[in-house]
Amino acid sequence: MSDRRSPGLRDRAAVAGIGWTPYSKNSGVSTLELALRAISAALTDCGLTAADVDGLVTHGVGDSTPAATVGAALGVSDPHLLLDVWGGGSMSAATIGTAAMAVASGQAETVVCWRALNARSEFRMGGTGRAAPTLVEFQYQVPYGLFTPPQQYALVGRAYLEAAGAGAEDLGRVAITQRVHAALNPRAMMREPLDMETYLGSRWIAEPLRLFDCCLETDAAIAVVVTSAERARDLPQPPVLVAAAGTGGGHSLFSDDRPDWSVSAAADLAPRLYAKAGIGPDGIDVAELYDAFTPLVLMQLEDYGLAPRHGAPDLVASGATALGGKIPTNTHGGHLSEGYLHGLNHVAEAVIQLRGHAGERQVPGAATALCTGQPGYVSGVTSALILRSDR
């Protein structure tokens, strides 16, 4: 049983509102418009207005409208917190953690966090057909043909499969399980059934990654409203408390002293995160794990202590990560089947589960959720959250 009176961030801030735009292949609007629509929906969800907002935090990789522009469009003339966090999905959880720290310290009272991007119709980080990115490591990747994330994560996936003695079917079970969850999610882009034959018959993207091992490039926005726990209790929706937040290091493709690429930086972050929340892995009821590619789910199940080392394939095969299992994982379908919003849709799903509002995909009695960002590969950084209901 955790001590709610513990000092620090624990349970002092809460997610009060969530909002999103439809997921699509072509939004037809700017990332500014997407951000404003999602933020408006999140504020409506918790009964607040733009006049209540005094903090704005977003994350991106040069592919979205800056926080200052969004704040001006909202009419926030004197933001107490204004932050653009550089990083794709690696820093998704960090945006919520930063907002929670600002609220807990009194720097801001109501902070909106969001991710808005037209990743399918406009700009894709790491994609070809545009100028080379201004990253030091790019000069070391190009000679070897490492241009895109699937190529980069194929190396990571191969390292894990060899270390764990796993194979294609183990990756397939991750994609299939999440597709079952997506079928119960009316927002999901991919809801049709997926079986092992279809999975194995899909085309290679970059071995060992097939088509269904890869996330869905998506146009959409997600927004989250963070305020104090006390204030959230007076708002319409059940508060979801920020029990812990953390950031960590990671792996770089061009210079890395980590001896085992099958273990992500999440393994270093996890003990700190659990200590801050006052619980252990066995205290997590639902896991929303960053799943740009299927191997990352297996790796994080192990690195966050939800499965023994090299035991994640057997855990998934047993049905433990499915709805009704011991640790339901990516209950909305994840990036593989719902849509790729760089981690904030995982936070929104955790909030829905902890509110008890997930309908057919509801995890009975869900009181705690682990939400993770990309576990540190390529970017060299990672972040994660533990959220808990206020019941």
pLDDT at 131: 58
Q: What is the pTM of this model?
A: 0.94
Catalytic site includes residue 340: yes
Residue-wise pLDDT for 70-95, tens only, equals 999 999 999 999 999 988 899 999 99
Helices (H) and strands (E) in the chain, counts: 13, 11
Residue-wise pLDDT for 265-312, tens only, equals 999 999 999 999 999 999 999 999 999 999 999 999 999 999 999 999
Average confidence (pLDDT) over 314-338: 98
pLDDT at 3: 44
Residue-wise pLDDT for 44-53, tens only, equals 999 999 999 9
**Do 371 and 288 form a contact (C-beta atoms < 8 A)?**
yes
Average confidence (pLDDT) over 346-373: 98
Backbone angles phi, psi at 219, to 5 degrees: -100, 120
How are beta strands 382-389 and 240-248 bridged, if at all?
antiparallel
Catalytic residue among 23, 160, 340, 377: 340
- Sign of the dihedral through C-alpha 369, 358, 226, 372: positive
Residue-wise pLDDT for 170-223, tens only, equals 999 999 999 999 999 999 999 999 999 999 999 999 999 999 999 999 999 999
Return the percentage of the chain with pLDDT > 90, whole number: 83
Catalytic site includes residue 160: no
> Across the chain, what does the average pLDDT equal?
93
Backbone angles phi, psi at 141, to 5 degrees: -85, -40
Catalytic residue among 274, 290, 304, 377: 290
Backbone angles phi, psi at 294, to 5 degrees: -55, -40
**Do 361 and 333 form a contact (C-beta atoms < 8 A)?**
no
What is the amino acid identity at position 20? W
* Structural domains of the chain sorted by starting position, each given as residue range(s) with its CATH number in brackets: 13-123+215-389 (3.40.47.10)
